[in-house]
Amino acid sequence: MNTEIVKIEDAQRDLPLIRRAADVLLAGGLVALPTETVYGLAANALDKNAVRKIFAAKGRPQDNPLIVHVAGLKELEPLVARFPDKAALLAEEFWPGPLTMVLPKSGLIPDAVSAGLPTVAVRMPSHPVMRAVISVSGLPLAAPSANRSGHPSPTEARHCIDDLSGKVDMIIDGGECSVGLESTVISLACEPPLLLRPGAVTLEQLRAVLDDVECDGAVSGRMNENTQASSPGMKYKHYAPDAKITLVHGAFESFARLLSEQNGSAALVFDGEEPLLPQICCIAYGPKNDPAHQARHLFSALRELDTRGFRRVYARAPKPHGMGLAVYNRLLRAAAFDEIYL
């Protein structure tokens, strides 16, 4: 398949390109495009054949359901069986933005989208390109992250080009994603509401609106292989580069000592720590006390580990609070749950 690659800097000015993307989607095709979190691989959520193409292009396991993206609450209404008061409160506070809600689904949602679950994950993104494509097409868009399944999520168009060229109809280059990690996922199909995936909307912020929110055990740990995943995506290793990563908790001095004993290993560190490890190949992913910045750069740092051919990497662990919980959650999966405390 020939993949058309276009650049959109301004959704208003580049309306003809937005229309072209909408036409591809209306014809049952696939478009990779920017959102504020990560790039998404979009298809018409109501067309099960189009949705199946997403799974084929990504190499995604069939049992991992997709998020449906809408531009407004009116378009959401027919897709869900109920929209509880708690969902309305969260929508008021955080939409449009990086929050996904799991709700009981209506009969309109194909099983291919929900992977046979009775629920559907919905999100109202804020990125102007994504919003324009939804509005012009008039379609709810199913869109997982636009990476090959198991690779780190794409935060720049070139990541999508690397992973999906020849497998999708169109890739829209809209620059770097401002958040850099996938949306927060909360289930409102249970009581109390359950945080399934941490993101830029933090657990603390959710609790400030709903006061009672539980945190799924899979957020900071490994899923038990035998238990049913509340969010199927959480059971996969995911987000992983080819390099073998160990996540290291503790002071920088202990980290430096550990690395001095590991021949040929590379390090994923905080900004400013590289000069303190002169013998070691280092990639920095942000300042130690700025999790939003770490979030923005983590996935391109993980891809760079592979570009530079590192096989064995030790990574400085972020503080798992606020948005740091999301950074920790992704790094833990990139490390296939291998972490040590010094």
Contacting positions for ligand TXA (CB under 6 A): 35, 37-38, 40, 64-67, 100, 102, 114, 117, 119-121, 123, 143-145, 182-183, 185, 196-197, 231-234
Minimum distance from CB of 6 to ligand TXA (Å)?
Answer: 18
Q: Which parts of the chain are beta strand (E)? A: 4-7, 31-33, 40-44, 67-69, 99-104, 119-123, 141-142, 170-173, 184-187, 194-197, 214-215, 244-249, 266-269, 282-284, 312-316, 339-341
**What is the C-alpha separation between 183 and 202, in angstroms, rounded?**
10
Minimum distance from CB of 199 to ligand TXA (Å)?
Answer: 7
Determine the residue with CB nearest ligand TXA: 233
Question: Which one-letter amino acid corresponds to residue 172?
Answer: I
Q: Does 137 bind Mg ion (CB under 5 A)?
A: no
When binding is defined by CB under 5 A, the residue of 145, 187, 202, 205 that contacts Mg ion is 145
144 vs 313, beta carbon nearer ligand TXA = 144
Q: What is the CA radius of gyration of the chain?
A: 20
185 binds, among ligand TXA, Mg ion, none (CB under 5 to 8 A by kind): ligand TXA
Residues 301 and 285 sit within 8 Å (Cβ to Cβ): yes
Q: Does 100 bind Mg ion (CB under 5 A)?
A: no
Residues 77 and 83 sit within 8 Å (Cβ to Cβ): yes
10 vs 111, beta carbon nearer ligand TXA = 111
Minimum distance from CB of 38 to Mg ion (Å)?
Answer: 8
Backbone angles phi, psi at 149, to 5 degrees: -55, 130
Minimum distance from CB of 306 to ligand TXA (Å)?
Answer: 19
3-class DSSP state for residue 115?
A: coil
50 vs 185, beta carbon nearer ligand TXA = 185
329 binds, among ligand TXA, Mg ion, none (CB under 5 to 8 A by kind): none
Q: How far is CA 254 from CA 225, 245, 262, 268, 324, in A?
A: 33, 17, 13, 15, 21
**What is the C-alpha separation between 6 and 56, in angstroms, rounded?**
23
* The pair of three-digit structure tokens given for residue 192, joined into one six-digit string: 């109390």
104 binds, among ligand TXA, Mg ion, none (CB under 5 to 8 A by kind): none
20 vs 34, beta carbon nearer Mg ion = 34
Whether the bond between 96 and the residue before it is cis, its omega within 30 degrees of 0, is: yes
Neighbours of 30 (CB within 10 A): 27
44 binds, among ligand TXA, Mg ion, none (CB under 5 to 8 A by kind): none
**What is the C-alpha separation between 107 and 211, in angstroms, rounded?**
31
Q: Does 184 bind Mg ion (CB under 5 A)?
A: no
Minimum distance from CB of 58 to ligand TXA (Å)?
Answer: 9
300 binds, among ligand TXA, Mg ion, none (CB under 5 to 8 A by kind): none
137 vs 145, beta carbon nearer ligand TXA = 145
145 vs 329, beta carbon nearer Mg ion = 145
Count of chain residues binding Mg ion (CB under 5 A): 1
Minimum distance from CB of 250 to ligand TXA (Å)?
Answer: 29
Question: Which one-letter amino acid corresponds to residue 79?
Answer: L
109 vs 269, beta carbon nearer ligand TXA = 109
Minimum distance from CB of 339 to ligand TXA (Å)?
Answer: 21
Q: In the block, which residue shows the tokens 């990690």?
A: 181
Minimum distance from CB of 40 to ligand TXA (Å)?
Answer: 3
Q: In the block, which residue shows the tokens 């020849």?
A: 166
| Interface positions with Mg ion (CB under 5 A) | 145
